[in-house]
Amino acid sequence: MEVLRQGVELIDGISAQLQQLDCLMLAGKPIEISAAAADIELALKNAAPAISRITEVMRDLGADNLFAAAAQLRRIEQQDAASLAEALRFSLARVATRTACASRRAQQMNRGLNTALKALTSFGLNEGGRLIAEA
């Protein structure tokens, strides 16, 4: 049960970080965006051992996913653990949604920057930012 509780806490923390990253992208703060993305990457790496332990628990229960794990835990009358498995499933779904939103926003920002750079180039600015003026 402690493994599931730890998993919920880790995934909820990553979800909050993704929400903050999305807000930073909306605010257009590139340095903060980079730092937040690095923090999320580190959090995901740090969460890997806990996720492995959760996978082992699911395998021990004979469950292929968290929904099945929760059902199995209910069958063996482990209501608290079943509730944690459900909470973890919902937290993972929220992370998936926030990841998709952040990815979409990053793609939009990238397209916008590329369009702006093409416009500057068409006005005669080279990569060094100097104006190539022709009279």
Residue at 97 is within a domain: yes
Residue at 128 is within a domain: no
pLDDT at 126: 57
Residue at 135 is within a domain: no
pLDDT at 54: 92
Residue at 87 is within a domain: yes
Residue at 118 is within a domain: yes
The alpha helices in 28-78, defined as continuous H runs, are 30-61, 66-75
pLDDT at 134: 42
Number of domains in the chain: 1
Q: How far apart are CA 8 and CA 103, in angstroms?
A: 23
pLDDT at 123: 67
Residue of 48, 57, 38, 37 whose CA lies nearest to 10: 48
pLDDT at 13: 95
Residue at 49 is within a domain: yes
CB 61 within 8 A of CB 72: yes
Mean pLDDT of all residues belonging to the chain: 86
Residue at 74 is within a domain: yes
Q: How far apart are CA 19 and CA 52, in angstroms?
A: 25
- pLDDT 10s digits, 10-45: 999 999 999 999 899 888 888 899 999 999 999 999
Torsion angle, alpha carbons of 101, 102, 103, 104, to 10: 50
- Model's pTM, two decimal places? 0.77
Residues of the chain under the 50 pLDDT cut: 131-135
Domain carrying residue 80: 2-122
Q: How far apart are CA 131 and CA 41, in angstroms?
A: 39
Q: How far apart are CA 66 and CA 87, in angstroms?
A: 9
Q: What is the DSSP string of 77-124?
A: T-HHHHHHHHHHHHHHHHHHHHHHHHHHHHHHHHHHHHHHHHHHHHTT
Residue at 133 is within a domain: no
